[in-house]
């Protein structure tokens, strides 16, 4: 499993990456939407965890652009400031699901696994 995490809160990002790696999961993190697009163009990820509220390119815009690069990759959106409108927009743009932050790491892992399984058996998502 290779996961991309996108969050402008460095402490949160580093904590989640460390906890995923301790569970044997390859995890990388970036702190802006622009860096996320670069990472997505350079590598194949099994799933993406994306913060909704970021300065510059926000989570909804980042989601739209990530899906242009790889429409198959499941994206889980995280926010500490959920609104129904933002959740609906993310789901319209192809987000797999939406979780409130902070969320327990085990719940996040379960959601990541569910997202990867939902993509279907038999292969990795490829950039498109």
**Chain-centre distance for alpha carbon 75:** 5
**pLDDT tens, residue order, the chain (128 aa):** 899 999 999 998 999 999 999 999 999 999 999 999 999 999 999 999 999 888 899 999 999 999 999 999 999 998 876 666 777 788 899 999 989 888 898 999 999 999 999 876 544 443 43
pTM more than 0.95: no
User: What is the structure's pLDDT at 85?
Assistant: 72
User: What is the structure's pLDDT at 124?
Assistant: 44
User: What is the structure's pLDDT at 84?
Assistant: 64
Q: 3-class SS at 77?
A: strand
Please identify which residue in the block is written with the tokens 């969050």: 7
User: What is the structure's pLDDT at 82?
Assistant: 61
User: What is the structure's pLDDT at 79?
Assistant: 80
- Mention the CATH class of domain 2-118: alpha beta
What is the side-by-side order of every strand in the sheet holding 26-30? 26-30, 2-6, 47-51, 75-79, 97-100
Q: Report whether 108 contacts 101 (CB < 8 A).
A: no
Q: Report whether 119 contacts 74 (CB < 8 A).
A: yes
Domain limits, the chain: 2-118
Rg (CA), the chain: 13
How far apart are the two ends of the chain, measured CA to CA in Å? 19
């Amino acid at each position: 499993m290779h996961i991309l995490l996108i969050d402008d809160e460095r402490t949160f990002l580093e904590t989640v990456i460390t906890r995923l790696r301790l569970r044997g999961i390859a995890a990388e993190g970036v702190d802006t939407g622009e860096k996320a697009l670069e990472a997505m163009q350079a590598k194949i990820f099994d799933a993406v965890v994306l913060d909704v509220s970021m300065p510059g390119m926000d989570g909804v815009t980042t989601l739209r652009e990530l899906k242009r690069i790889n429409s198959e990759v499941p994206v889980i959106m995280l926010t500490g400031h959920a609104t129904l409108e933002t959740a609906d927009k993310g789901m319209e743009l192809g987000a797999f699901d939406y979780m409130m932050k902070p969320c327990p790491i085990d719940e996040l892992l379960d959601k990541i696994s569910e997202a990867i399984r939902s993509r279907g058996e038999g292969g990795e998502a490829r950039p498109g």
